[in-house]
Amino acid sequence: MAYLTLLFSSLLLSLALALPQGPNTLYVNNPNLRTESYNATYFILAVADTILESLIPYPLIPVPRDTSIFVTPFPAGYHPVIVSSGYMNDIRMSIFQIASLVGAQIAVPYVDRLENGETSFLYPLINYIGGANGEDLMSLVPCKLRSPRSPLGKNSKRLIRHEIIAIVGTFEGVYISPASLTPNTAAYVAITPTEFTVEVKTVIVPNFISGPSVVYEDIDLDFMSDPSPNTVYTAHTFHALINQALVLNNGMCQCNTYFFNQTFTDPLFRVGTVTIGAPPVGTTGLAGVYSDVPGYSASSVLVGFNAQDCADAAAAVDKSALQ
């Protein structure tokens, strides 16, 4: 169970037809860390500061007026919120391996975790995780990772499965929700030759009569390739925001580093509509339809480092990954 808890909780932070799904090229050099190939699409919403201040227990750092990150100044009184979804491939940690999962996240960059007015962190409001390629999440993860010395005996698979799917609150430092993503075979699906979509729905705790059920649609992404890329954001914008040290809710922080320097990165700029439905846990005030939102699709290789003191995590951020 200890190994299961460590790997599964790390997967939840990584917090993905589509761009080619690349291999996990960094596992060999990082065998004891969680690594994966991640094919994802990221959107940057502009949300009123007052809404975010009611959701985050730390101050916001003013959005920098750095034209290398924000080509045009971010609107006064508003703050960026990152909504992303993606397909995770070849997920590894130590001797454990999961073929694939899908996930999504709503997170806020430029959060002053140290309250020093200058060190930026990424604060996750909620993370979603789901089974890929038609696999149920609970059958996919615990079956492959449970310890052969589990004291639960012949019923261990069933009990571990119910234990994990019931976790919709806090888990090892992040707020997570078991989810059903459409598609679950790729990072997004084409509904026309030029239009792509992703749907993220919460899955509630199952019961023995009806099984798991979907309650409502949390996130809907509908987008196309941007005909005028680089006029608002550049690749550097997205890299600089998502690679800030991640704030955990257990007093620690973590470097979740996305490396976009692979031959299969294939970045594409997007524009589309982001719909946030009935407010999920920790996102009250964000519900609504956001139109003409700039986005970015690309494949990366993700390395999830161990949780550490927040000042240490901020100092350990790989500056090359921010570029």
Question: What digits encode the pLDDT tens for the residues 192-204?
Answer: 999 999 999 987 7
**Nearest alpha carbon to residue 129 among 118, 141, 121, 119:** 141
Query: 3-state class of 164 per DSSP?
Result: helix
Q: How many CA atoms lie within 13 A of 202 on its CB side?
A: 20
How far apart, in whole angstroms, are the C-alpha atoms of residue 10 and residue 227?
Answer: 36
Q: Average pLDDT of 82-94?
A: 92
User: What is the mean predicted confidence (pLDDT) over 43-54?
Assistant: 97
Q: What angle do CA 309, 310, 316 make, to 5 degrees?
A: 90
Q: Note the Cα 182 to chain centre separation in Å.
A: 16
Nearest to 89 by CA among 26, 155, 150: 26
Q: Give 264-298 pLDDT, tens digit per residue.
A: 899 999 999 999 987 666 788 999 999 999 999 99
Banded pLDDT at 206 (limits 50, 70, 90): low
What local confidence, expressed as pLDDT, does residue 17 receive? 42
Distance of CA 260 to the CA centre of its chain: 16
